Structure 1
Amino acid sequence: MDSDLIKLVNRLQDTFSNLGGELDMPQLVVVGSQSAGKSSVLENIVGQDFLPRGQGIVTRRPLVLQLIHTPIPDPSSSPPPYTEWGQFLHIDKRFTDFNEIRREIEQETYRVAGQNKGISRLPISLRIYSPNVLDLTLVDLPGLTKIPVGDQPSDIERQIRNLVTEYISPPNSVILAVSPANVDLANSDSLKLARSVDPQGRRTIGVLTKLDLMDAGTNALDILTGRKIMADALDSEAEFFKNHAAYRNIAHKNGTKYLARTLNQVLINHIREKLPDMKARLNTLMGQAQQELNSFGDAAIFGDKNQQGALILRLMNQFAHDFIASIEGTKVDMSTKELSGGARIYYIFNDVFGHALATIDSTAGLDNQDIRTAIRNSTGPRPSLFVPEAAFDLLVKPQIKLLEAPSLRCVELVYEELVKLCHNCRSPELERFPHLHAQLIECVSELLRERLGPTSDYAQSLIEIQAAYINTNHPAFISGSAVAAQTATSQASKQSIPPRPVSAEPTNGTQTPENGDESSAEEPTAVNGVPSRDGRSVSSTLHDRARTTGSSSTAGTSTKSSSRPHHGPRHSYNGPGPVGGSSLERSHASLTPTPTGRDVSIVDAPSPTGLMAGKRTLDGNNAAYDMRSLGKHIEAVSGSNNASQMTQREEMETSLIRTLIASYFSIVRQSIQDLIPKAIMHFLVNYSTKEVQNRLVATLYKPELLSDLLNEDEALVAERTRVKALLDAYKEAFKTLSDVNLKPL
């Protein structure tokens, strides 16, 4: 019965080692410093030389050594049976030559741990069958060291100590602490390490080696290097204790044979003691293995079409639910470390998109020369009396276009976020079917791709709509006349001219009648004898004053337009002009003959445009111009881009246009910042959440696709097979331990 216990433990250990089980089996763990004699102890117990030898660290992988006692074979049988042999767990071969066993250990060590002196945690399992051994399970570990030698890793001491601690820490391990007798036990590394995990020494056995080296001059080189045969070594050991003056009275309690019997009994007693704990642990492991096996699903559904259809429908519904819950923020396992799901969409709308719009300069790319040129071009051959609306429209539309790029990028960012959410919708059960999972992701991604186009088109159309109709009558749009007044005031202050009201006023220094006489206010005024245009603003008058340097006296009346131009469906903005007047209203003064009928000659009057050279003569019937340098003047004007050459009026007009563009751009930007997120939610997000489940069912729920969609991952199938075998091993081990009829201690 005692031998059966050890064999049972060995069998369970092999099973769990192959299947990756976690049951800690009772075993003897050999611990000692390098050259302490660990290998000699193990070889003496086996009675064979089979362990690698050499300088420095030799054992670089744990060696799980199972000794199995076999009866002596009948020598008369044919062919003669082998008496002793070894068998590794990693190779299906019986080794009868123990030198080959040594070479296989070396090759397997090199294969895993490499050619240098590094170590590996992966054990080598070796069984030795012999009539000369007792049933034992021992683990030989790398020897403890302090200083790296040769090409050993710099942290070799820490690696070995961690490995040894891992094996001796479990309560089911019996520690075999090997120490050389010629070293003070107070400095024994093996005993120190054993005491750290077993302070009371209840599962620690101390083994002293090299007793014959304690006397000076004793030489045991042949024995330690294994050059003597093992039988002679065992006889020499027995003779040493029998004839030694200090040890002969206890010779029967020393030596390798006594150690083997003691270890056998200790291991058996330890197994008997730990059997209840092993059964309890097996109960726990069986429950865990059963739960893990259930997570892989039942393979029996693959023969039933109805069960396959029901499974796919359930997985589709779960996938769609997880996708929608991620957007709405109702998913159970929502992250607490970073923004996810719908919160990231809100972040895109509020922070990313909002910041992008806020950083756009309303007049980006517009310099003063561009504005000046637009104003000139929009008036055609006529001089500009007021800031033309055509120039404002021409300049503000490209600025509105600047909002298109961030709007379309906002659509793309939300689309990309939805695709990420789709890929993150997974569950352990769904991962069981990678093809189905991939098809679900592809189906939802296709739905999102379909919605990307219409959403982007609508976002682009919102920008085009804003540019299609410039509503300068918007309540939030700044008043053009107010801007003109501010600009005129600013310009006047620069020229040390007291600010004047925006309404029409005389420019010849006379005061406006205080009695409110409208006829007096409408009387034409003259600057140096030249009539001033009726109804002009301060800016227009300033412009006239800058253009006119000489005049002659004349009499006449100003012509006022009694009707305003047609503006179509849009409103006109209030440009600089008389209070209550239209911004497009233009008044032109007429040059009329004097009462005497004489011709009026303007001699050497400077031309505002600089196109005329020489003298201009007006006789009512004929006009003579000096046209010699006209072409050069046109080239000079069209190629000029020097903003410093602008007149005071042009500076005011440029500043006015820039302010009006900024005001209107702010209105459009605010509208776009509100409409784009709404469009994205309607056309992309909400549409996708409403249609995702219907799209999945319509695309994938087809009888001819069921089998293909439910193809399982090969790695998962292999893992389920392993867990099933491990569960069966746990059940068998539990049944075996429960049936053991324990003998009294």
Structure 2
Amino acid sequence: MAPVQSTPQTGLGNRHLLDKIDKLRELGISKQVPLPQLVVVGDQSSGKSSVLESLTGYYFPRSVGLCTRHATEIVCRREPTTSIVVTIHPFDATARKAELAKSFRHVLQDLRGGQFAEVLQMASTVMGLKSTTDGSSEGDAFSKDILRVEICGPDEEHLTIIDVPGIFENVQEGFSTSRDVALVKSMVKDYIKDSRTIILAVIPCNVDVATQTILIYAAEADPEGKRTLGVLTKPDLVRENATREAAMDLIRGKRRDIQLGYYVVKNRGADDTSSSKDERDFEEKFFVDEEPCCRLDKSRLGVPALRSRLRELLMDRTKSESPKVRRDINERLADAKKQLAALGQPRSTADEQRRFLGEIVSRFVELKNFGLNAYYTGDPLFDKHPDLRLATRV
């Protein structure tokens, strides 16, 4: 497989285009019209959340035993001033939950302190999620609500990426049920089904790729493999030579099930507290020193190469799909206007409502009189429905 040539995607025009798509997503347009997006998917414990953290450069607090239980949308933007805004976008909420979500807006200066962990806990409460895994707390195990984290700063690169809960098969007593298993699978399929979505399929190196459910789902959603990119994690955990060679063959492009190919990254462990620079240096040293990684195409190794490629893919997808998005929005808007016009004038006050009901009564009386007097030319209704001409049928 030829090396990937990444190009800068930071032009002002490109940023404005990405900003427009992000604004549409923030307004909830994606529920009506699919938008270009990057979605990170994989099985539980595949290293999916670590990939997200490495791509964005921010680490999310992890509770022991608790996995990703809702979709998380990370929006990174380059702005003169630094700000971090955390909000909730409810999927299908009750009036009370919608009001709670609407009022949930927290502005932070840093994601590395305890304040962010507190905000995440409050978000889980608003979403109605359980706070423990042992059955001692009430609530749901998973939620379709979206946690949105918008990160702005002078050093940020424009990237929007969505993380969804990992696929799992075995239920945990007191925490998850078979319905939760089905819910997560449904969420994953819903997020990757649209042709405007780039699928980031995360797979550990130390497993048989053929057994990974996410690749099966990706093949169903993207039969030609044009918008699926594989990310191999945990290369340091591979012990068997056959497994190692199988993973290396994926990176070399010997398995062509997905056209965007595979990348490999080395992320920190769950208990690793190293800084992003330390992690980056360690990853680079790993790929330089370790066999057989050191003999692979460097453009497919490490988080920086992956991040650059994803920005390029997202920009290309956004450019190609923006005219279609505009067309779809205009069509939906025109249809909504027609439906609104069909409802007639607004009737927001009691007087307007009484007047409207009075007009209905007057219309009914008029039609009734036409029928009783056999005056069938008085209204087109009798031409459309000849069976209403009762006098002609006697």
TM-score w.r.t. length of structure 1: 0.38
1:125 and 2:167 matched: no
1:242 Cα deviation (Å)? 2.0
1:299 Cα deviation (Å)? 4.1
| Alignment-derived partner of residue 41 in structure 1 | 51
Closer, same or farther in 2 for the Cα pair 1:201/1:113, shift >3 Å?
A: farther
Kept in 2: contact 1:26–1:270 (CA 8 A)? yes
1:174 Cα deviation (Å)? 1.0
| Alignment-derived partner of residue 493 in structure 1 | none
Kept in 2: contact 1:52–1:105 (CA 8 A)? no
| Alignment-derived partner of residue 598 in structure 1 | none
Distance in 1 of aligned mates of 2:275 and 2:33: 39
1:168 Cα deviation (Å)? 0.8
Given candidates 264, 281, 289, the residue that maps to 1:243 is 289
Distance in 2 of aligned mates of 1:222 and 1:207: 15
Amino acid at match of 2:87: F
Closer, same or farther in 2 for the Cα pair 1:192/1:131, shift >3 Å?
A: farther
Deviations along 1:680-723, one digit per CA (max 9) or x if unpaired, are xxxxxxxxxxxxxxxxxxxxxxxxxxxxxxxxxxxxxxxxxxxx
1:225 and 2:275 matched: no
1:69 and 2:78 matched: yes
Deviations along 1:463-485, one digit per CA (max 9) or x if unpaired, are xxxxxxxxxxxxxxxxxxxxxxx
Distance in 2 of aligned mates of 1:170 and 1:51: 31
1:155 and 2:179 matched: yes
Kept in 1: contact 2:203–2:233 (CA 8 A)? yes
Given candidates 179, 185, 191, the residue that maps to 2:203 is 179
Deviations along 1:667-690, one digit per CA (max 9) or x if unpaired, are xxxxxxxxxxxxxxxxxxxxxxxx
TM-score w.r.t. length of structure 2: 0.70
In structure 1, the residue corresponding to 2:27 is in which secondary structure? Answer: helix
1:196 and 2:220 matched: yes
Distance in 1 of aligned mates of 2:118 and 2:368: 59
Closer, same or farther in 2 for the Cα pair 1:237/1:157, shift >3 Å?
A: same
1:14 and 2:22 matched: no
1:2 and 2:48 matched: no
In structure 1, the residue corresponding to 2:33 is in which secondary structure? Answer: coil
Closer, same or farther in 2 for the Cα pair 1:111/1:319, shift >3 Å?
A: farther
| Alignment-derived partner of residue 309 in structure 2 | 262
In structure 1, the residue corresponding to 2:119 is in which secondary structure? Answer: helix
Amino acid at match of 2:44: Q
Q: Structure 1 unaligned segments of length 5 or more: list them.
A: 74-82, 326-331, 333-745
Amino acid at match of 1:160: V
| Alignment-derived partner of residue 314 in structure 1 | 359
1:269 Cα deviation (Å)? 0.5
Distance in 1 of aligned mates of 2:300 and 2:317: 21
Distance in 2 of aligned mates of 1:322 and 1:149: 65
Distance in 2 of aligned mates of 1:40 and 1:314: 64
Distance in 2 of aligned mates of 1:315 and 1:286: 29
1:70 Cα deviation (Å)? 2.9
1:148 Cα deviation (Å)? 0.3
Kept in 2: contact 1:174–1:203 (CA 8 A)? yes
Kept in 2: contact 1:63–1:139 (CA 8 A)? yes
In structure 2, the residue corresponding to 1:224 is in which secondary structure? Answer: coil
Computed over aligned residues only, the root mean square deviation of the Cα atoms, in angstroms, reads: 3.4
Distance in 1 of aligned mates of 2:369 and 2:46: 67
Distance in 1 of aligned mates of 2:267 and 2:142: 27
Kept in 1: contact 2:74–2:150 (CA 8 A)? yes
Distance in 2 of aligned mates of 1:196 and 1:244: 35
| Alignment-derived partner of residue 189 in structure 2 | 165
| Alignment-derived partner of residue 105 in structure 1 | 120
| Alignment-derived partner of residue 516 in structure 1 | none
Distance in 2 of aligned mates of 1:254 and 1:292: 53
| Alignment-derived partner of residue 166 in structure 2 | 143
| Alignment-derived partner of residue 248 in structure 2 | none
1:215 Cα deviation (Å)? 3.8
| Alignment-derived partner of residue 300 in structure 2 | 253
Deviations along 1:188-217, one digit per CA (max 9) or x if unpaired, are 12111111111111111111111111148x
Distance in 2 of aligned mates of 1:309 and 1:48: 58
Higher-Rg member (1/2): 1
Amino acid at match of 2:42: G
1:275 Cα deviation (Å)? 1.9
Kept in 2: contact 1:61–1:123 (CA 8 A)? yes
Deviations along 1:62-110, one digit per CA (max 9) or x if unpaired, are 1122121235x6xxxxxxxxx4534325533311231433332333223
More helix by share: 1
Closer, same or farther in 2 for the Cα pair 1:226/1:117, shift >3 Å?
A: farther
Identity %: 25
| Alignment-derived partner of residue 484 in structure 1 | none
1:320 Cα deviation (Å)? 5.1
Amino acid at match of 1:281: D
Higher RCO, 1 or 2 (CA under 8 Å, sep at least 6)?
2
| Alignment-derived partner of residue 24 in structure 1 | 34
Deviations along 1:556-609, one digit per CA (max 9) or x if unpaired, are xxxxxxxxxxxxxxxxxxxxxxxxxxxxxxxxxxxxxxxxxxxxxxxxxxxxxx
Given candidates 129, 153, 170, the residue that maps to 1:114 is 129
Amino acid at match of 2:143: S
In structure 2, the residue corresponding to 1:156 is in which secondary structure? Answer: helix
Kept in 2: contact 1:134–1:260 (CA 8 A)? no
Kept in 2: contact 1:238–1:251 (CA 8 A)? no
Given candidates 204, 207, 213, the residue that maps to 2:237 is 213
Distance in 1 of aligned mates of 2:232 and 2:153: 26
Q: Structure 2 unaligned segments of length 5 or more: list them.
A: 1-12, 89-100, 131-138, 241-265, 371-380, 382-394
Closer, same or farther in 2 for the Cα pair 1:311/1:183, shift >3 Å?
A: same
1:318 Cα deviation (Å)? 4.0
Residue correspondence of structure 1 range 701-716 to structure 2 within 5 A = none
1:239 Cα deviation (Å)? 1.4
Distance in 2 of aligned mates of 1:245 and 1:214: 11
Kept in 2: contact 1:59–1:143 (CA 8 A)? yes
Closer, same or farther in 2 for the Cα pair 1:286/1:84, shift >3 Å?
A: closer
1:311 Cα deviation (Å)? 4.5
Distance in 1 of aligned mates of 2:141 and 2:57: 29
Report the number of matched residues: 311
1:44 Cα deviation (Å)? 0.7
| Alignment-derived partner of residue 343 in structure 1 | none
1:275 and 2:288 matched: no
1:149 Cα deviation (Å)? 0.8
Closer, same or farther in 2 for the Cα pair 1:268/1:46, shift >3 Å?
A: same
Amino acid at match of 2:26: D
Closer, same or farther in 2 for the Cα pair 1:226/1:276, shift >3 Å?
A: same
1:52 Cα deviation (Å)? 3.4
Amino acid at match of 2:188: V
Amino acid at match of 2:126: R
Amino acid at match of 2:35: M
Closer, same or farther in 2 for the Cα pair 1:321/1:60, shift >3 Å?
A: farther
Kept in 1: contact 2:206–2:235 (CA 8 A)? yes
1:181 Cα deviation (Å)? 0.7
Closer, same or farther in 2 for the Cα pair 1:102/1:265, shift >3 Å?
A: farther
